Amino acid sequence: MDNSTIWFAFGLTLFAGLCTGIGSALAFFSKRTNKSFLSIALGFSAGVMIYVSMIEIFFKAKDALCTEMGERPGYWVTVIAFFGGMGVSALIDKLVPDFENPHEPHVVEDMTAQARQEHSGKLLRMGVFSALAIAIHNFPEGLATFVSALKDPALGMSIAVAIAIHNIPEGIAVSVPIYYATGSRRKAFGLSFVSGLAEPVGALVGYTILAPFMTDTIFGILFAAVAGIMVFISLDELLPTAREYGEHHLSIYGLVAGMAVMAVSLLLFV
């Protein structure tokens, strides 16, 4: 594989992961959380992921596997890998306790009120565990972005932008409680920054392990699993959080807009 393609894929993954820092910046410099914007943005991200997974990635994986294995076995492996990706995401969610799940919606105003009422140690613990939970969730997301960019750079760019959008509220989830517990913007931003690095780390570790065995069949299986991971993330994390941040209709408008933008971008690259 061309080194420039690998570096490009890694750069996209790094960009997506570091967008947790944008969430930190919004938390520090905004007096109020624009919940309508976050609701639409998260819905948009979900729309991009669902459309590209079901319309583009799944069928690219199917075509590759059917070419390598035959029509019927290839289709079966595609479907199994797709639901396997969902299973990996579900297992990660199962291992992260609900009260420390970073995908619960957080706003600056709520955290400010909470800081006045609760002991700083509890806030610090919340922030640290949120960072750990986000790092765990970001690991497969990083591999998903990286593999997609390796297979199709234009597709990888779309996925990186979608994941970057959904990392913004995660930055808020980490940085705000740590800031109010410690009074240090540097510590809060630093931990948020580190949690975002789990995405490029996930890409590097995953690729390092799989690179010696990389064939069209392995790529097809990974691609199908990536589709499953992104659909699960959208249905289990992005859409419920988008609805919590704003009105139900705003998240759906964002979802439809994300699908439309993804559809047009794919048509432009045909």
Question: How confident is the model over 53-81, as pLDDT tens digits?
Answer: 898 889 989 998 999 999 999 999 999 99
Quote the domain boundaries for residue 195: 3-268
Is 118 known as a binding-site position?
A: no
Contacts of 17 (CB under 8 A, 6+ apart): 138, 142, 167, 196, 197, 198, 199, 200
- Closest Cα partner for 166 from 266, 55, 251? 251
Read off the pLDDT of residues 86-105 as tens digits, 9 standing for 90 and up.
998 888 777 765 544 444 55
Is 237 known as a binding-site position?
A: no
Is 104 known as a binding-site position?
A: no
User: Among 3-12, 93-102, 130-139, 207-216, where is mean pLDDT lowest?
Assistant: 93-102
- How far is Cα 40 from Cα 70, in angstroms, rounded to an integer? 42
Is 101 known as a binding-site position?
A: no
Q: Which amino acid is at 32?
A: R
The structural domain count of the chain equals: 1
Is 56 known as a binding-site position?
A: no
pLDDT of residue 96: 65
Q: Are 172 and 23 in contact (CB under 8 A)?
A: yes
Is 119 known as a binding-site position?
A: no
| pTM: predicted TM-score of the whole model, two decimal places | 0.71
Q: How confident is the model at residue 255 (pLDDT cuts 50, 70, 90)?
A: very high
Q: Who has greater pLDDT, 236 or 137?
A: 236
